[in-house]
Structure 1
């Protein structure tokens, strides 16, 4: 039997212990649900402006949000014990989808990342952000923890397969996010700092070799990150216009629907990857701070659920879901503000997109299942 870790957070059980009500019976967490709905509402307002007041784009996003909420509700009904039982099949199915992408995937903007099934286009790499931590949590929860070198090697193989397949598409940004989702499971499983430090040294020493296997556009992204002014009308255009939009918003912004950088189409990808630049220009520092506050509420609630979960599997999986959401937010904001290289990561539940929203909401369904099934179990 694995050694079970019990993480402590002052007041965690006190805050999560609620009287059973309707939401608990249908396996939804009220605080998390309200915060997610609030974030979606803000996202729709920002998207309407970023898309040039396009009702077609906004209605399409509403449809996707509705579908994502249904997915969250369905996933929340599945008890954690069944998630652990089905983890290997979910992982293998997503892995096969990644292989199919390389064979019959749709090519767009120089990358082969999408599959089409029943008229619906989706990215299997987005699904792997949940399937990988699900598989690793299931595998490690049935072993003695901290993991031995043998089990660590097996976990590394489970992690490496999808990461390499995604990098082959090529999609370096998503492959790094998937790797981060898997690594947090290993970290929470009690991986020693000595091993973590050894891997960090190994990764840093491999960086020069990575440069020679990167594609030309990936190298340009790194060079642009270091010096956007080297090609202001080419590779540096996106980040220059993005930082200009953010800086021009000031404290209060120019007003909703009044952003000049987006309205005059200087800002690229304004309704997807660079959407927070639209928010910063139109609502200023105040609007961005309020959006970040919503993200923090969601992350804090997720941490409370993760640290109050019963069982190693539930805690490992819940932690990975929360960490993945945090990395999404951190990387997108860092990318748009020029603190990180541009890697094409959407802003969660704000940027226009389908597969990422479905995957994120499925992850929150996992969190709600872990919390509510645990609460009902303790009645």
Structure 2
């Protein structure tokens, strides 16, 4: 009787996880476990509880499981509708969205949602659909059309204002455009301009910041973030507080860390947003350089496995979509760790599967589900 029950349990679990990529699943499980245990420490003296994070993780897993069952062909068919719905919601946010902390980013549809999160998936989905339809007859002007498809959501999100999410959506879309074959002769001038701009900011940034010169095309708070990056000590109790305290936390962790629940910077309330955007500082203080190496290794394995799944995908749509989703995971991790370490300006970008969050975790689960779907249906999709 016991053997029969065990056999039925195995069959049930096999039916649930059939088609899952084991390597990817184990990596995601490890990241989620690290995130949950870090949250237990980081959430001390905050209004959120472990049940909230557990619910978010379970919801993210459910979304991943559901999406993994959806054939990529269905996603291709729905791509335009998902994109149009996302743009419609962004327009609705601009007209009658909810304002929190000076930004209009949310809308109440019975539940409060942030439509810009949807565009992290909808935009590369739409671009992958477009280039797949143009495969074999692609012209130079197709990249202009792709720029418009990408530019509309980026503009609507940036004016909320939400520069962090706008940059992530832009990156997700650009990955598709580049993977679709954007010529290097068009990419290199932008790289050169960007590099030149960074050099100018490094050389003259402190002088401009000290003289309180207005910067064109950016909001005042965005300028302050760049100035704080250049010299956090210029406003140690204001704009530079986040960066200074997170850097102290990372450095004080040493090689082995102070131990779980033993981080002084986080538990003495020196790290703001410690369970969300700055959770990496909490993790670094408690688990040290050794913990960071393990975490970075897991992210490297996630990106490597995602690219391997994308490379073996059967058609252009799935290759472009899988590659973009994988590289957006990289962008999340790179930007978050960079800003917490004081190497990049502070923007609202969570650490994948580690930071507390609802909508962001669901979006990440959706992306992971896409990779699972591509792997599961790779022999069924015709190229």
TM-score between both structures, scaled by the size of structure 1: 0.89
Instruction: Please tell me whether residue 172 in structure 1 is matched to residue 144 in structure 2.
Output: no
Matching residue within 52, 68, 74 for 1:76? 68
Matching residue within 115, 119, 122 for 2:113? 122
Instruction: Please tell me whether residue 51 in structure 1 is matched to residue 43 in structure 2.
Output: yes
Distance in 2, matches of 1:128 and 1:188, equals 19
Q: Is the 8 A contact 1:23 1:29 kept in 2?
A: no
Matching residue within 357, 360, 365 for 2:369? 365
Worse overlay, 25-34 or 306-315? 25-34
Match in the other structure for 1:34: 26
Q: What does the per-residue CA deviation read over 1:58-100, in whole Å, with 9 as the maximum and x for residues that have no partner?
A: 1101101111111111111111111111100000001111111
Distance in 2, matches of 1:369 and 1:211, equals 45
Matching residue within 93, 96, 103 for 2:95? 103
Q: What does the per-residue CA deviation read over 1:275-319, in whole Å, with 9 as the maximum and x for residues that have no partner?
A: 010011111111111111221221111111001111000100000
SS at match of 2:49: helix
Matching residue within 298, 302, 320 for 1:294? 298
Q: What does the per-residue CA deviation read over 1:188-209, in whole Å, with 9 as the maximum and x for residues that have no partner?
A: 111110011234456678899x
- Map 1:303-318; keep pairs closer than 5 Å: 303-318=307-322
Match in the other structure for 1:142: 133
Match in the other structure for 1:4: none
Instruction: Please tell me whether residue 182 in structure 1 is matched to residue 150 in structure 2.
Output: no
Match in the other structure for 1:282: 286
Deviation, 1:251, is 0.5
Q: Is the 8 A contact 2:73 2:381 kept in 1?
A: no
Aligned residue pairs, count: 357
SS at match of 2:20: coil
Match in the other structure for 1:191: 182
Match in the other structure for 1:350: 354
Worse overlay, 67-76 or 236-245? 67-76
Q: Give the root-mean-square deviation of aligned CA atoms.
A: 2.3
Instruction: Please tell me whether residue 268 in structure 1 is matched to residue 272 in structure 2.
Output: yes
Distance in 2, matches of 1:163 and 1:56, equals 31
Match in the other structure for 2:232: 228
The runs of 5 or more residues in structure 1 that have no matched partner are 1-20
Deviation, 1:127, is 1.0
Q: Is the 8 A contact 1:29 1:368 kept in 2?
A: yes
Distance in 2, matches of 1:191 and 1:244, equals 42
Matching residue within 326, 338, 352 for 2:342? 338
Deviation, 1:151, is 0.9
Q: Is the 8 A contact 2:131 2:180 kept in 1?
A: yes
Q: Is the 8 A contact 2:35 2:353 kept in 1?
A: yes
Distance 1:240 1:56, change over 3 A: closer
Deviation, 1:145, is 5.5
Distance in 1, matches of 2:47 and 2:229, equals 34
